[in-house]
Amino acid sequence: MAGSEIIHWSPTFSVGVKLIDDQHRELLDLTNDLFNHCVGDEKSERAYFESVIGKAVQYIRGHFSTEEKIMIATNYPGYKDHKRAHDTFVLQVIEQARSFEEKRSFTLLAFTRYLKDWILTHIAVVDKEYVEYFKKIATRKADGRLTITRSDIR
């Protein structure tokens, strides 16, 4: 099963901002790595999860911070709702980690599927809302590229 993907990058996930797209790709890579460690052996799955969850939470928080800084800088009107969605997701991931630590109901496969579903709904749908806003306020350069400058932000 090594190298299998539970989710594959496609243009559907692109928000058109290279930094954010690169971070989203890393989240997909993390999800696929988790999936490849779903081997049906609870002991090895727990050991793997324990070794990556702290780094994963820090990565997710860093990514959300990047998005939120851009939203604030561009006066994105949906910022508060988007931030709330981010905060809720982080809390749910932390709850999964606690469940793991306390040996309550937890399976690596269920957690991996949760990440996949979140990517499909948040990145492919919710993040597209700020993309549309960016397109509306951006200035088109002579070469056709859209760029957001201080004069574009109201």
Ranges of each domain in the chain: 16-152
Residue-level pLDDT at 66: 93
| pTM of the shown model | 0.84
Which structure tokens are listed for 66?
Answer: 């990047």
Spatial distance between the Cα atoms of 154 and 150, rounded to a whole number of angstroms: 8
User: For the stretch 28-47, what's the b/e string if a residue is b when 16 or more beta carbons lie within 10 angstroms of its beta carbon?
Assistant: bebbbebbbbbeeeeeebbe
Spatial distance between the Cα atoms of 98 and 110, rounded to a whole number of angstroms: 15
Residue-level pLDDT at 1: 43
Sequence-distant (≥ 6) Cβ neighbours of residue 126 within 8 angstroms: 82, 85
Query: Among the CATH numbers 3.90.850.10, 3.60.20.10, 1.20.120.50, 2.40.50.70, which is that of 16-152?
Result: 1.20.120.50
How far is CA 91 from each of CA 12, 72, 144, 154, rounded to the nearest angstrom?
Answer: 26, 22, 41, 33
Residue-level pLDDT at 127: 92
Residue segments in the chain with a per-residue pLDDT below the cut of 50: 1-2
- Identify the CA nearest to 97 among candidates 63, 50, 47, 65: 50
Which structure tokens are listed for 101?
Answer: 């630590």
